[in-house]
Chain A
Amino acid sequence: MSESKHRSPPTAGFDTMALHAGQSPDPTTGARATPIYQSAAFVFPDSDVAAGLFNIERAGHVYSRLSNPTNAVLEERMAALDHGVGAVVTASGQAAMHLAVTTLLGAGDHIVSSRSLYGGTHNLLEYTLSRFGISTTFVDPRDPAAFAAAIQDNTKLVFGEVLGNPGLEVLDIPKIAAIAHSHGLPLLVDATFATPYLCRPIDLGADLVMHSATKFLSGHGVVIGGVVVDGGTFDWMANDKFPTLSQPYAGFHDLVFAEEFGPQAFITRARKEGIRDFGACMAPMTAFQILQGLETLPLRMQRHVSNALAVAEFLQEHPMVESVSHPGLSSHPDFELAKQILPLGAGAVFSFELRGGREAGRVLIESLELFSHLANVGDAKSLVIHPASTTHHRVEEKALRAAGIGPGLVRLSVGLEDRKDLLSDLKGALRAVEKTMGKNQ
């Protein structure tokens, strides 16, 4: 690739934006930190300004379900970090997914999705949205041709996760985006496991991004939240597939969002309809807490990634471990692709298969001391879960394998502890597994 002879002016880097984007010291009080605007509503100076705020003529806040000054800082910061035109924060990652889908789709519409998904997203697409007439075809995330083949006349959205669950498949975002775009469709990507520090899907061709902000964005594991980011890249008027953006909306005095708002059309409709009517808004205290985490995102992600790779390399060599699925290991099928999509590291969530099945998994979990046994990822503290003895304990082994979950599969979310302590904890637990399995033979 030839270098451009022209030079762009310098702009603030990622670490600076993680600290500053969207916020400046409070002009009234001088507060340097983002204040928590714990107010349900905001006073109108006069009737004309009130009408102007409702009619999107003026910038400002009306009611904290629709927007809030603390939330707005988080939204703008996430938009800036993901290189999007705007963002809306939501009550959870699930609410973010729901908001993205329902802003575009209605009954009779169809989604093509990677089949390697967070369980909650799979439930939403497979069972819940189908009750409302939105159907989904699930395809192998490693097979771009399968995405193309699954597109129907009523398909409105293509979806995948940067890092799939539980196999850590790396989504080939440029290829899948090209397929979606060639069919006049947008690509929505869940970048929860990557965060904008490791991957910015919009730069790679995606049009919309969502995150569960509960995870690495926060890092502290004390709140539930989500965010949808609009790349502003998709032309919603290029075809007739997106009437919510290209046709008059009776719910807002026949406003045609794509016509009036240009690249901000999607995110404006998401706020003016989806947040307004479904109401899954974020609490300002939650936004404040996520902002505290976001300030250290670059530093934390570097440590998460290096710790996770060290743990994966250790496990790979252990005799009680059958296999490790981490895209940063050369044994992973997406090792080369990961270098392209996730050049700074393939995240800190990965899984490995223990020799000894369910019982080995149970013993490992119960022998670990630093790793907390719970159903979450992306905490500063290391986390572990054994699906076959917890979330999937009622599922038969054959059905588990069909879902890509072996009986001895253990998922780790590697935190920020001293590496030697994490390895020591795992060594001890694996010794306990070895001992138990030896006795049982």
Chain B
Amino acid sequence: MKIELNGEPVFYSTGSGKPADNAPTLVFVHGAGFDHSIWVMPARYFARHGWRVVAVDLPGHGRSGGALLTSIDQMADWVAQLIVAVSSDQQASVVGHSMGSLIAMSLAARYPDNVAKIALLGTSAPMPVSDVLLNAAMDNDQAAVDMTNVWSHSAKGRLGSSENPGLSNLHVGERLLQQAGRDVLYTDLAACNGFQAEALVPVQQPALVIIGDDDKMTPPRAGMAVAESLTDVRQRRLPGCGHSMLSEKPNEVLDELAGFLLL
């Protein structure tokens, strides 16, 4: 689906949904350097279950135009505008992965009337990024793609054994990051690195935190700390799962999201 926001083209996947006018809205927000396609399976699931699915490409990502946004709060401001533009009641539940989880947190804290529930996948607040990765990303070097991609997969996930028949998750991740435009990964990682959780008011909305036990990018203890900072939270841990939980454990992630959002 292509719409226009602030004069710029915005793409989002509906998960092949044809929602009713008053369908609840569910926004999926991708992580650093990625796009909407990481959400293909949950997007299709919630679309079939009657939601207005908005698996969006952030500005300058995937098929969306516009300049890259340089801070998590700017990205949250933009998603808030998107929610108002596409939902029937100016409200949405928001599912975010990695950088997307920070955007969901910022949204929930700063636009409480526009956010019903948040689900945070592979999260950490703050979300520090190492200099070695930031510097490689600044140079648009393949090493930044490799670091992000390899560190995002569990030890088992790096050898494969994908639940999705015939897919090499490691190479899907690599390809998505390679296809991001120049400076996209760096700008996103720098935004994650600069995120200041303490500046936010406490999030009151119901929240789900999904933690991969073998997550090297946002380690389990960081995800648990986020969960502890939330008021109304359910926390789930996925054994043997890395940061790329949507490709490593797609069914378990889906079951957790469904259990939380379809309540």
> Interface on A for B, CB 8 Å cutoff?
4-9, 11-12, 16-17, 20-24, 51-52, 55-61, 67-69, 71-73, 75-77, 79-80, 83-89, 231-233, 235, 237, 253-255, 259-264, 267, 271
Contact = CB atoms under 8 A, between A and B. Distances in A.
A22 B168 CA distance: 8
A255 B16 CA distance: 6
Contacts of A68: 165
A89 B142 CA distance: 30
Contacts of B151: 9
Contacts of B141: 4, 6
B171 A85 contact: yes
B251 A6 contact: no
Contacts of B170: 11, 80
A263 B175 contact: yes
Contact of A8 (B15, B63, B143, B163): B143
B200 interface: no
A80 B168 contact: yes
B166 A67 contact: yes
Interface string B150-170: 110000101111111111101
A9 B151 CA distance: 8
A58 B250 contact: yes
Given A8-B142, A9-B146, A260 B44 contact: yes
Given A6-B136, A254-B16, A263-B176, A58 B41 contact: yes
B168 A262 contact: no
Contact of A12 (B40, B135, B158): B158
A398 to B, nearest CB: 47
16 contacts: A4-B142, A9-B146, A9-B147, A11-B150, A12-B158, A59-B163, A59-B164, A61-B165, A84-B171, A87-B166, A87-B168, A235-B179, A237-B63, A264-B37, A267-B166, A271-B166
Nearest to B136: A6
Nearest to B62: A262
A262 B165 contact: no
B159 A24 contact: yes
A345 to B, nearest CB: 25
Given A9-B147, A86-B166, 15 more contacts: A4-B143, A8-B146, A20-B160, A22-B161, A24-B156, A24-B161, A69-B165, A72-B165, A79-B167, A80-B170, A86-B167, A232-B171, A260-B13, A267-B166, A267-B167
Interface of B: 13, 15-16, 35-37, 40-45, 48, 62-63, 132, 135-136, 139, 141-144, 146-147, 150-151, 156, 158-168, 170-172, 175-176, 179, 250-251, 254
B166 A259 contact: no
A377 to B, nearest CB: 26
Contacts of A9: 146-147, 150-151
A56 B159 contact: no
A8 B150 CA distance: 9
10 residue pairs, one from A and one from B, having the closest CB atoms: A262-B37, A75-B166, A6-B143, A8-B146, A67-B165, A59-B163, A57-B45, A79-B168, A6-B136, A72-B165
A73 B160 CA distance: 9
A11 B158 contact: yes
A57 B160 contact: no
B37 A260 contact: yes
Contacts of A69: 165
Contacts of A11: 146, 150, 158, 170
B241 to A, nearest CB: 13
Contact of B16 (A6, A67, A260, A262): A260
Contact of A52 (B45, B135, B160): B45
Nearest to A231: B175
B171 A57 contact: no
A8 B137 CA distance: 12
Given A6-B143, A262-B37, A56 B44 contact: yes
B212 to A, nearest CB: 16
Contact of A83 (B150, B160, B165, B171): B171
B166 A79 contact: yes
Contacts of B136: 6
